[in-house]
Amino acid sequence: MKASRGEHLFYSVNYVILSVLALSCVLPIVHLFAVSLSNNDAVTSGHVAFWPVGFTMDSYHLLIDRTPVIRAFKNSLVITVVGTLLNMLFTIMAAYPLARSYFYLRRFFSLAIVFTMLFNAGLIPGFLLVKSLGLIDSYAALWLPGLVSAWNLLVLRSFFEQIPEELVDAARIDGCGEWRLLYRVFLPLSLPVLAALSLFYGVGHWNAFFGLLIFINDAAKQNLSLLVQNMVQNQEMLQEINGQLSMSESADMLSQITPQSIRAAGIMVMVIPMLIVYPFLQKYFVKGMLIGSIKG
């Protein structure tokens, strides 16, 4: 069917608006990347836009050699991988019974889960609970309170409910019990929504900041988010980095880099892993969220 003139105009306006929005998201990252690879004179004079000027990797060398960025990266990796696995495991284990019509008190538990989306105890009771459980300075304080997202649980439950009962009946005739039915039938058919929910959980753990600020007092357990935040807001940290350099190193290296380029390098180290992972899950993202949230 041929599109009318009004439809062509509508599509053109949409393309323009979406292109502007996409550029507003991408260009700041490109600018930070260019700043992290530019020399001192170009950055301080404001000549760096979207391409490095006076290319140098000294900011990354200084970041890796003189800051605990490697340790913070490993901490972020542990928090993200373990946390996402725990989230997905318990979300699946909760969504499956709630999707089965013969599960007793199914409606009661579903309403109770929805209730938690509207009301919560608050920050202070949450902190007191974590403290009473002895989880302060433990990553469990980050994983356990948010072990299952109510929204993600409802999305996965909705997806499980859409799996044809005929397929379930055929599997039962072949001798599948509940565990085997979940593992052999439900999970293979749920890869799109599982990938989308894993992305949600993973990004949340990778960017975790407030929880670590409250529950983690040990500096050796801080993640990239806290380290980058300290670099952005704490000038003393950059002065400590400068103080660790010898006189010859300081004169040579600091002539090539600025605090802005070190901060930009720290932000890029935090952002790049998510930019690498996202394209592999993108094909599942929209499909998984749509078929997990629309009935029928």
Structure tokens of 32?
């930070």
Both tokens assigned to 221: 């357990």
Question: Which of 199, 185, 114 has the alpha carbon at shortest distance from 153?
Answer: 114
Q: Of 291, 85, 284, which Cα lies nearest the Cα of 201?
A: 85
| Averaged pLDDT for residues 223-246 | 65
Taking the C-alpha atoms of residue 15 and residue 22, their distance in angstroms, rounded to an integer, is 10
pLDDT digits (tens, 9 = 90+) for 138-194: 888 888 888 888 888 988 888 888 888 888 888 888 777 888 888 888 888 888 888
Q: Is residue 25 part of a domain?
A: no
Q: For residue 234, what are the domain limits?
A: 57-293
Quote the CA–CA distance of 4 and 247 in Å, as a whole number: 71
Mean residue pLDDT of the chain comes to 79
Report how far residue 36's alpha carbon sits from residue 263's, in angstroms, rounded to the nearest whole number: 8
- The count of domains in the chain is 1
Q: What is the pLDDT of residue 273?
A: 82
Alpha carbon distance 16, 188 (integer Å):
39
Q: Is residue 288 part of a domain?
A: yes
Confirm whether 50 is domain-assigned.
no
| pLDDT higher than 90, residue 89 | yes
pLDDT > 70 fraction of the chain, expressed in percent and rounded = 84
DSSP letter assigned to residue 146? T
pLDDT band of 294, cuts 50, 70, 90: very low
User: By mean pLDDT, which of 44-48, 133-137, 196-200 is the weakest?
Assistant: 44-48
Output the domain CATH number for residue 100: 1.10.3720.10
Number of separate helices (H) and strands (E) present in the chain = 17, 0
Intra-chain end-to-end CA distance of the chain, in Å: 27
Cα separation of 227 and 45, whole Å? 27
Predicted model pTM: 0.79
Residue entry with tokens 């499980």: 160
Give the Cα separation of 148 and 199 in Å (integer): 14
Is 32 part of any domain?
Answer: no
